[in-house]
Amino acid sequence: MELTKDVEPRMRPELRRTDALRTAGMAGAFRRIFLFALCALCASVASLNAFAQGCAMCYTTAAAAGPGAARALDLGILVLLVPTLVLFVAVLGFAIRRAAAGDASP
């Protein structure tokens, strides 16, 4: 015997969590995340330091260093990229599993 089957018919209608409320809550959360991402994008585009990534001095030094240094630079980029991607995929997988578990529960 499940407790929710016995209690839910006797609950006041405003206390019942319907699918519409759950969907509205998810839409509100999505809207907040979207607005935060949009603000972060606008702030990064407006920042003058963000455009310094292609500076001439860095490019000239890397181009003149030779093939060994270019290989080391490529390896350094991979070393920095792989843990970041693994962490991103792990957090995304956790969020998807948690959302799926939340949708399955009544």
More confident position, 102 or 53:
102
- pLDDT surpassing 50 at residue 24: yes
Task: Delimit the domains of the chain by residue range.
Answer: 7-54, 55-106
Per-residue pLDDT at 93: 92
More confident position, 3 or 25:
25
The rounded distance, in Å, linking the Cα atoms of 61 and 79 is 21
Identify the sign of the CA torsion 10, 13, 14, 15.
positive
Distances (CA, A) of 71 to 2, 45, 80, 81, 85: 63, 31, 14, 15, 21
Residues 74-88: tens digit of each pLDDT? 899 899 999 999 999
Continuous segment of H or E residues that includes residue 85: helix 67-104
* Percent of the chain clearing pLDDT 90 (strictly above): 18
Q: What are phi and psi of 26, to 5 degrees?
A: -70, -35
Per-residue pLDDT at 1: 47
Determine the 3-state secondary structure of 17 from DSSP.
coil
Tell me the whole-structure pTM to 2 decimals.
0.43
